[in-house]
Structure 1
Amino acid sequence: MDKFIWESTVFAIVAFLVLLWLLNKYAFGPLFAVMEKRRQLIQEQMSTAETSRKAAEASLDEQKVALEQARKEAYAIIDQARSTSTKQADEIVQSAKNEAARLKDDALKDIESEKNKAIAALRTEVGGISVKIASKIIEKQVDEKSQEQLVDQYLKEVGSK
């Protein structure tokens, strides 16, 4: 069997250590640096994504609040429009009632005025006819029977007018 050679073992260990040092300096160092940069980039992206998510949630909450406020304002505008239209309708109805009452009062005044004019005209006519009857009675100097006939005739004339 072969004998164990110390020089060869020492040489192999030294060669391995030199190789390990060279790999560490020229291969593993840059490789680990690239891997570290990649880890930092991923960490930054995750942090940015988390910040973006929080900002999106905050924006969504703001939009919900704004939408709710817009709904409240819309409902308030609708309620105000209903109130205003009801008020205007009531004002129009009241105005129409007032106008109708005024027209009715004017019509009643006109009727009363026309009635008074008609009564005055009738009195004037009755007075004129009475004078005519009286003058005919005086002219004829008739008896009571003739006087009754004249009154009846007068009443028929008045009734026909």
Structure 2
Amino acid sequence: MLTSGYVLGAAAEGGLHFNGGDIIFQLVMFIILLALVKKFAWGPLMGIMKEREQLIANEISAAEASRAEAGKLLEEQRELLKTSRTEAGQLIENAKKQGEAQREDIISAARAEAERLKESAKREIVQEKEKAVAALRDQVSSLSVLIASKVIEKELSEADQEKLINEYLQEAGEER
């Protein structure tokens, strides 16, 4: 209690009186300090803030431009992909058509070759048949002559035989 009474007593003696000069001095110093802060700290700080604001605005604009460019490039890539798919489909379709045409060409060439071989075989058969018939005629005529000569030999003289053979040879030569 003693201490609190002492503090109250010291304040009553002169600690709580009004000193206008100190207040005015402190007020002037505060205003000078504010002017100095405004000139040397606040202005540059606001300049830095403005620059930072401008930098951020530029970066946002650049990001928006990049995003727009990326969107444009994406759309171009989609169009190119679509075009490529269309071209690939056309190439596949053309390849199918060419393959079909080649298949038809091969089939028709094979049929023509088969027909040519068939005709060639028919001609060979006819030729072989004609050769066989000619050979058969020769054999038949030789056998006929031989048989006829045996029959005639018994009944004809040698001069008559020679005459018949010569006539026969002339007839055989004319037939050929």
Q: Which TM bucket (shorter chain)?
A: 0.7 to 0.9
Instruction: Give the Cα–Cα distance (whole angstroms) in 2 for the partners of residues 55 and 45 of structure 1.
Output: 15
Greater relative contact order (Cα < 8 A, sep 6+): 1
| Residue 119 (structure 1) aligned with residue 141 (structure 2) | no
Q: Percent identity?
A: 42
Deviation, 1:139, is: 2.7
Instruction: Give the Cα–Cα distance (whole angstroms) in 1 for the partners of residues 69 and 126 of structure 2.
Output: 84
What are the Cα deviations for residues 104-156 of structure 1, in whole angstroms up to 9, with x where unaligned?
10010000011011111211221222222222222334xxxxxxxxxxxxxxx
Instruction: Give the Cα–Cα distance (whole angstroms) in 1 for the partners of residues 153 and 56 of structure 2.
Output: 141
Instruction: Give the Cα–Cα distance (whole angstroms) in 1 for the partners of residues 69 and 24 of structure 2.
Output: 63
- Give the equivalent residue in structure 1 for 2:49: 35
Q: Decide which moves more: 80-89 or 35-44.
A: 80-89
Q: TM-score, structure 2 length as denominator?
A: 0.70
What are the Cα deviations for residues 51-88 of structure 1, in whole angstroms up to 9, with x where unaligned?
11111111111111111222222222222222222221
Instruction: Give the Cα–Cα distance (whole angstroms) in 2 for the partners of residues 50 and 113 of structure 1.
Output: 93
Unpaired stretches in structure 1, ≥5 consecutive residues: 142-161
1:73 aligns with one of 64, 71, 87: 87
- RMSD of the alignment, in Å? 2.1
Instruction: Give the Cα–Cα distance (whole angstroms) in 1 for the partners of residues 18 and 124 of structure 2.
Output: 153
| Residue 90 (structure 1) aligned with residue 131 (structure 2) | no
Q: Decide which moves more: 30-39 or 91-100.
A: 91-100
- Give the equivalent residue in structure 2 for 1:46: 60
Choose 1 or 2 for highest CA Rg.
2
Q: TM-score, structure 1 length as denominator?
A: 0.76
Change (3 A) 1:3 1:134: closer
- Give the equivalent residue in structure 2 for 1:108: 122
Q: What is the aligned length? A: 140
Instruction: Give the Cα–Cα distance (whole angstroms) in 2 for the partners of residues 62 and 13 of structure 1.
Output: 69
2:78 aligns with one of 64, 80, 89: 64
